């Protein structure tokens, strides 16, 4: 029984998850490319290996990729999101899909805070200036004096709210599935998306990418933000209309942005050239301790799902 691991970040040399799979009698094949696969590469590898289970990263798991492996019964995402998996096609083929929502939350929330502070305090800009031999005045903005709007108040949004609280900033949150009790306990004010849009000096995104949320942060949304606002995205790249964000940055309406995720990755677009933008290479969950926990959870999920469908 073969399991294919396509996620490129899997810690092959030190992975307890691999040992767990092998102890269960599973033959493991690891992505030979050492990077994120294209759709064609994923499809070809699936056809070659014909695994019964897949531990997936962010590569596109499209209908053709799923169809390439006749034996496939389970896809276990090493990560919280499943927007790269065609869920309808998986259901049609009776393929179980699992994810790891718990493990990455703390690391993504920490990176969100780091990016937020980097933008407001212009840390990267100051670093570039000092390295160039200059010593300018780089006035930043005080987080404690800002109103921060969290769009999405699930596991990660709530963690970010917890980390924000000691700074003394006003925290707003909007989520269609809002846990009002959790918001109250964290001192977070519940608002409609429109109200948050009008009031937030800093917008931080913590929601899944769906057909309804794609380009949520578009020109109209950005135009309603207070002048000098900042946009932080550690969720999914497709939530932000990148050309609209760049236009607002060039116009000065948005003072800064920090992005860990992009519509096309690796990112090579024009936001790279803007001095008020902080870029990060989809590193939200890439803390060593968290990555190990995600891999272990993905392996456990895979084995349990294989038992559930009766092939293990």
In order, the DSSP letters of 221-249 are HHHHSPTTEEEEE-S-GGGB-HHHHHHHH
pLDDT in tens, 251-266: 999 999 999 999 999 9
Which pLDDT value is given to residue 292? 84
**Sheet containing 277-279: which strands, arranged edge to edge?**
189-190, 170-174, 147-151, 202-205, 229-233, 254-259, 277-279
Which pLDDT value is given to residue 8? 80
The answer to whether residue 263 is catalytic is no
pLDDT at 13 over 80: no
Structure-token match 């709007």, residue found = 149
Cα 203 from Cα 230, distance rounded (Å)? 6
Which pLDDT value is given to residue 199? 97
Class of the CATH domain delimited by 2-103+288-308 = alpha beta
Count H helices, E strands: the chain? 12, 12
Average pLDDT along the chain: 94
Among 36, 206, 282, 291, the active-site one is 282
Among 48, 264, 265, 289, the active-site one is 265
pLDDT at 242 over 60: yes
Say if residue 266 is preceded by a cis peptide, omega within 30 of 0. yes
Q: What's the pLDDT band for 11 if we cut at 50, 70, 90?
A: low
Which pLDDT value is given to residue 239? 98
The answer to whether residue 142 is catalytic is no
Cα 305 from Cα 300, distance rounded (Å)? 8
The answer to whether residue 289 is catalytic is no
pLDDT at 34 over 90: no
pLDDT at 10 over 80: no
Among 36, 122, 236, 291, the active-site one is 236
Cα 198 from Cα 218, distance rounded (Å)? 14
Helix, strand, coil content of the chain in percent (nearest 5): 40, 15, 40
- Enumerate the H helices of the chain as residue ranges: 16-23, 39-49, 63-67, 87-92, 105-120, 123-131, 155-164, 180-185, 193-199, 219-224, 242-251, 288-308
The residues of the chain that CATH labels 3.40.50.720 are 2-103+288-308, 105-279
pTM of the full structure: 0.87
Cα 172 from Cα 50, distance rounded (Å)? 48
Architecture of domain 105-279: 3-Layer(aba) Sandwich (3.40)
pLDDT in tens, 91-132: 999 999 999 988 889 999 999 999 999 999 999 999 999 999
Which pLDDT value is given to residue 261? 97
């Amino acid at each position: 029984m073969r399991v294919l691991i396509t996620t490129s970040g899997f810690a092959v040399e030190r992975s307890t998850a691999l040992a767990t799979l092998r102890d269960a009698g599973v033959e493991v094949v690891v992505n030979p490319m050492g990077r994120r696969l294209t759709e064609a590469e994923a499809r070809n590898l699936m056809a070659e290996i014909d695994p019964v289970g897949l531990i997936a990263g962010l590569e596109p798991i499209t209908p053709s990729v799923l169809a390439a492996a006749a034996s496939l019964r389970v896809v276990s995402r090493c990560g919280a999101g499943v927007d790269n998996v065609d869920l309808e096609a998986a259901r049609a083929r009776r393929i179980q899909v699992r994810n790891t929502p718990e493990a990455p939350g703390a690391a993504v929330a920490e990176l969100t805070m780091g990016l937020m502070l980097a933008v407001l305090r212009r840390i990267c800009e100051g670093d570039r200036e000092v390295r160039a031999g200059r010593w300018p005045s780089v006035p930043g903005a005080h987080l404690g004096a800002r109103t921060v709007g969290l769009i999405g108040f699930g596991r990660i949004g709530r963690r970010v709210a917890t980390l924000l609280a000691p700074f003394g900033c006003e925290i707003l949150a909007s989520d269609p599935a809002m846990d009002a009790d959790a918001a109250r306990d964290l001192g977070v004010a519940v608002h409609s998306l429109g109200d948050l849009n009008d009031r937030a000096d800093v917008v931080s995104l913590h929601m899944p990418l769906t057909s309804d949320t794609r380009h949520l942060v578009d020109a109209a949304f950005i135009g309603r933000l207070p002048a000098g606002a900042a946009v932080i995205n550690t969720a999914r790249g497709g939530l932000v209309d990148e050309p609209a964000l760049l236009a607002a940055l060039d116009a000065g309406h948005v003072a800064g942005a920090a992005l860990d995720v992009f519509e096309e990755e690796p990112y090579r677009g024009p936001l790279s050239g803007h001095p008020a933008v902080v870029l990060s290479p989809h590193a939200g969950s890439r803390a060593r301790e968290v990555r190990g926990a995600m891999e272990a959870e993905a392996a456990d999920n895979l084995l349990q799902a294989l038992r559930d469908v009766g092939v293990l």
